[in-house]
Structure 1
Amino acid sequence: MIWYTVLVTAVAAERLAEVAVALRNTRWSLARGGTEAGRGHYPVMVALHTALLAACLAEPWLAARPFLPWFGWTMTAVVVAAQALRWWCVRTLGRRWNTRVIVVPGLPLVTGGPYRWLRHPNYVAVVAEGAALPLVHGAWVTAVAFTLGNAALLAVRVRCEDGALARPAPVDVRA
């Protein structure tokens, strides 16, 4: 269980790195007239993702879940692939990537990187990681609970994001 604790701690550290990037990008976006949508669901998202990490450690310990190498290593590979996809998204969006929904007027929709094939590739990474991370050590209750909660959250989040991206950019009447 020690190596699994290290894995979950590494994912938690990655999330803190995401927050640091998001804060920097929030300042950049707001300085350029960006507007935020979906503030109401953001605290729910933070709570759900925090609960995932805590439950990943609690369930295997409390329920004495065994590590099944053939399954655990496969799920570890899924977690690593999800991280790679997430950071590909971050790199592709650059300063526009955020944990919040902030749209800067006048910037075109990004269609490169993983956005060439998927409209919301970062959410594919979130879904994969949210299912796989608990399953690395047999925490299937956590995997199911997170997946259901995340599905409800993503239904709201994707609708919010698509709506924000579809709004026409304000016209500069000074031009």
Structure 2
Amino acid sequence: MQDIIPFLIFYMIIISQRIVELFIARHNENWMKKKGAIEFGSNHYRYIVLMHILFFISFFFEKIFLNRALSPLWPLILFLFIIIQLVRVWAISSLGRYWNTKIIVLANAKVIKRGPYRYIKHPNYFVVSIEFIVIPILFSAYITAIIFTIVNVIVLSIRIPEEERALQKLTEYDSVFQHCSRFLPILLNKCDK
């Protein structure tokens, strides 16, 4: 367990990051709701929160109690983690006050089509999906990686359609992105700036 100190530092950085994001989300939620924004998907939001809490508990216990070692590929995995964090910051800053952990939509708000949103439909969900693999694998917590990757796919199969419906209902989401291919940006991207 010689890697316990790096693990605890890494773990606390991630937890601190999530706490900061929750404060940002709460601030943005209050601002949007004062402007008349509507929340969607509140019935499943608690399960998303529970999934994230259980992920961090599982990761911690698998590392500590199953004595998981730092991956031999840790420099590469840590580099990937850092790149993913840059995408996270890019996604959050691109949405600005409209970014949230909840589905909160302001009717007739301008649809954001900059930053990573030009290239991929839901970059924040992409980041979380990669994190559910990369974070545990960094410390060889393979059980956590497998279980929460599967759970995340199930949760996102509910969450993403709900968010798409909310955006379609209250904004010009469909018309703004009708000519965009946001899957392989280099090869297929047709979005205007």
TM-score normalized with structure 1 length: 0.92
Match of 2:25 in 1: 22
Indicate if the aligned counterparts of 1:78 and 1:128 stay in contact, CA closer than 8 A: no
Give secondary structure in 1 for the equivalent of 2:69.
Answer: coil
Aligned residues: 168
Q: Hey, what's the Cα distance between the residues in 1 that align with 2:76 and 2:61? A: 21
Q: Hey, what's the Cα distance between the residues in 1 that align with 2:82 and 2:53? A: 19
Q: Hey, what's the Cα distance between the residues in 1 that align with 2:51 and 2:170? A: 32
Give secondary structure in 1 for the equivalent of 2:42.
Answer: coil
Partner of residue 36 from structure 1, selected from 19, 36, 39 = 39
Match of 1:63 in 2: 66
Match of 2:48 in 1: 45
Indicate if the aligned counterparts of 1:78 and 1:129 stay in contact, CA closer than 8 A: no
> Within 5 Å, which residues of 2 pair with 1:1-175?
1-69=4-72, 71-168=73-170
Q: Hey, what's the Cα distance between the residues in 1 that align with 2:127 and 2:23? A: 19
Once the two structures are TM-superposed, the CA of residue 9 in structure 1 deviates from its matched residue by 1.1
Of 42-51 and 18-27, the range deviating more from structure 2: 42-51
Aligned-residue sequence identity (percent) comes to: 29
Give secondary structure in 1 for the equivalent of 2:104.
Answer: strand
Instruction: For residues 128-149 of structure 1, give each alpha carbon's deviation from its aligned partner in whole angstroms, at most 9, with x where no partner exists.
Output: 1111000110000000011001
Give the unaligned 5+ runs of structure 1.
170-175
TM-score normalized with structure 2 length: 0.84
Structure with larger RCO (C-alpha < 8 A, sep 6+):
1
Q: Hey, what's the Cα distance between the residues in 2 that align with 1:99 and 1:148? A: 20
Match of 2:175 in 1: none
Structure 1 segments of 4+ aligned residues over 3 angstroms from their partners: none
Q: CA RMSD in A?
A: 1.1
